[in-house]
Structure 1
Amino acid sequence: MTTRNDLRDFLTTRRAKLTPDKAGLPVYGANRRVTGLRREEVALLAGISVEYYTRLERGSVGTVSDSVLDGIAHALQLDEAERDHLHRLVRTLATPRAKQALRRTPAKSRVRPAVQRILDQMPMPAYLRNGRFDVLAANDLGRALYSPLYEQAGPGRTPNSARFVFLDPTAGDFFLDYNKAANDCVAFLRAEAGRDPYDKDLTDLIGELSTRSEDFRQRWAAHDVRYHRTGRKRFHHPLVGDLELDYEAFELAGDPGQRINVYTAPPDSSADQALRLLASWTLEQGPSATAPTPTPKTQTNEAP
């Protein structure tokens, strides 16, 4: 998936987002045809020649030092995820594919028993996923919270959050901030594609979503990248109604590519009460129970 076009489109979309004013550059004349930065302005800010930056943007990377890439990242005001993505795109283009294959550590899909025990002993909703948004394991409360995903996947199949967001008509009901959830999902997948462009399962997932969802295609074309480590999510759960939860993501050093997502609510808040109710229902119904799913809406999940 990482090609010369990926690098070109990533840099051009970053240039388009940054105006001369925000970059601290003067604007001369009233007939400026672009709202974002020109190549020569990026080169000026990065301290490199226009010709060199142009070749780089076109994918002719050759040997590029980290200091040059850091200069471009500074010029374009890239955040951590965007800066890392730039470095990965350039290194991928500069490294023969055979050498990349030797360096790869394929993401594991096996769940170690110790990790499952950690999940099971957590009193709050928690689940384990990989970089493709496959939900590999969860505790009882995590399964209950994300019951619509399990319903969408079907018995015996691995739930996938990206498929749910873009292919299930109930996703807009479940994620109250659907637009943010969809953007975050695509931005994380874009970063993951830069990290391992030859992951066949990831390539197949992106191909499937691109084929089946116009919404996904439009968001993917933006070339946004984002890390998904901490924040807040709002859900409408089919059993306990609306709840707003904080989440933290913990990368597993022993299982590269896997992470545990944990959800919490402030004590005595309405979300805390909703989680207690959901936990009680789960205990009554048994560990494999899933909450009823809402009736699907007729409209598709298009960006507002």
Structure 2
Amino acid sequence: MSKDEVREFLVTRRAKVTPQMVGLPDVGTRRVPGLRRGEVAVLAGVSVEYYTKLERGDLRGVSDEVLDAIASALRFDEAERSHLYDLARTANAGTRARRRPAVGATVRASLRHLVDSVTDAAAVLGNQRADIVATNTLARALYDPLYLSQTEPVSYPRFIFLDPAARRFYPDWDVIADASVASLRTVAGRSPFDRSITDLVGELSTRSDEFRVRWARHDVRLHIEGIKRMHHPVVGLVELEYNVLALPADDGLNLTVYTAAPGSETEEKLRLLASWWASEQGAALGASSHPA
């Protein structure tokens, strides 16, 4: 994690906060948007020299109290505050830090059984870099468009930024793209020595202008819950609620469950989707059993 990463994060956050937002008078000509360094220092209760040192990327030895004060001065949300702590932790790890081993491709049998046991919702087992590691039957049907253009493990970011079909699949593509990059940057801050994540960021930055522009914003987010709209080529538009569950026994993995509101049109479409996928699988099995 370079000093540039820290500097750009703090500079971009400072640019988002206006004097009016924090009760300061807006006086003088501002060369850049947002607060001045001196104003952040006053709000955080530190000297201008000390805050300047931090914004230049040097978080070594900074206390939790100072991190909290800066986070409050810059109006950080929970994701931004956590990211600042991640950056500080990495800065203080220095040369003692070790690369995090890549998460293995194997999934515990009982975890696989858990995913398969979800029948009325779409269940996706994912890893930190947003690969689909495993799904239940309904989720496999839901995300069939992603599997059409990729070998496994299927990658959400690669689909979103490298596959033109993503703009048809996600009606709210810009929102999805923003969230994908912000989630990936959050993970990169949490696991800065994971080579698979840095390689993915490098690949997407090279191949996608849309990704590169968003990455430069230094936005972060906690991917926990929300609503996602998808336009499936078979059943049309579905609107799904999702919740992301942490798996303490499986470091680096999470379980996302997509559900439809009871009685909604999407609930009926999920039933149709399950029926379609069952017929598709039946036809494929029949074809393999009776080769030409």
Task: Report 1:102-117 matches (<5 A).
Answer: 104=100, 106-117=102-113
Per the alignment, residue 115 of structure 2 pairs with 119
SS of the residue corresponding to residue 95 of structure 1 reads helix
**Offset, 1:159:** 0.4
Q: Indicate which of 81, 86, 92 corresponds to 1:94.
A: 92
Q: Indicate which of 246, 250, 254 corresponds to 2:245.
A: 250
Partner Cα separation in structure 2 for residue 59 and residue 274 of structure 1: 50
Per the alignment, residue 288 of structure 2 pairs with none
Task: Report 1:118-267 matches (<5 A).
Answer: 118-123=114-119, 124-154=121-151, 157-267=152-262
**Offset, 1:100:** 1.9
Partner Cα separation in structure 2 for residue 10 and residue 41 of structure 1: 17
- Number of positions where the alignment pairs a residue of Structure 1 with one of Structure 2: 283
Classify 1:141/1:66 alpha carbon distance in 2 versus 1 (closer, same or farther; 3 Å): same
Per the alignment, residue 296 of structure 1 pairs with none
Instruction: Return the letter of the residue paired with 1:76.
Output: L
**Offset, 1:287:** 7.8
Partner Cα separation in structure 1 for residue 200 and residue 211 of structure 2: 11
**Offset, 1:94:** 2.0
Partner Cα separation in structure 1 for residue 116 and residue 282 of structure 2: 11
Partner Cα separation in structure 2 for residue 35 and residue 6 of structure 1: 19
Partner Cα separation in structure 1 for residue 114 and residue 92 of structure 2: 41
**Offset, 1:106:** 4.7
Partner Cα separation in structure 2 for residue 22 and residue 122 of structure 1: 45
Residues 75-102 of structure 1, C-alpha deviations (whole Å, 9 max, x = no match): 00101111011111122112223x2218
Task: Report 1:30-109 matches (<5 A).
Answer: 31-97=29-95, 99-101=96-98, 104=100, 106-109=102-105
TM-score (norm 1): 0.90
SS of the residue corresponding to residue 286 of structure 1 reads helix
Q: Unaligned stretches of 5+ in structure 1?
A: 290-304
Q: Is the 8 A contact 2:124 2:139 kept in 1?
A: yes
Partner Cα separation in structure 2 for residue 194 and residue 13 of structure 1: 16
Q: Unaligned stretches of 5+ in structure 2?
A: 285-292
Instruction: Return the letter of the residue paired with 1:72.
Output: I
Instruction: Return the letter of the residue paired with 2:137.
Output: D
Partner Cα separation in structure 2 for residue 51 and residue 158 of structure 1: 48
Are 2:33 and 1:17 equivalent residues in the alignment? no
Residues 219-266 of structure 1, C-alpha deviations (whole Å, 9 max, x = no match): 000000001110000110000001100001001100111011111011
Instruction: Return the letter of the residue paired with 1:218.
Output: V
Runs of 4 or more off by more than 6 Å in structure 1? Answer: none
Q: Is the 8 A contact 1:108 1:256 kept in 2?
A: no
Q: Is the 8 A contact 2:101 2:194 kept in 1?
A: no
Instruction: Return the letter of the residue paired with 1:7.
Output: V
Q: Is the 8 A contact 1:209 1:216 kept in 2?
A: yes
Residues 158-187 of structure 1, C-alpha deviations (whole Å, 9 max, x = no match): 100010000000100001110111011100
**Offset, 1:283:** 2.1
Classify 1:138/1:34 alpha carbon distance in 2 versus 1 (closer, same or farther; 3 Å): same
SS of the residue corresponding to residue 136 of structure 1 reads strand
Superposed CA RMSD in Å reads 1.5
TM-score (norm 2): 0.93
Partner Cα separation in structure 1 for residue 54 and residue 30 of structure 2: 24
Q: Is the 8 A contact 1:108 1:258 kept in 2?
A: no
Partner Cα separation in structure 2 for residue 119 and residue 62 of structure 1: 42
Partner Cα separation in structure 2 for residue 172 and residue 125 of structure 1: 21
Q: Is the 8 A contact 1:247 1:262 kept in 2?
A: yes
Partner Cα separation in structure 1 for residue 103 and residue 154 of structure 2: 17
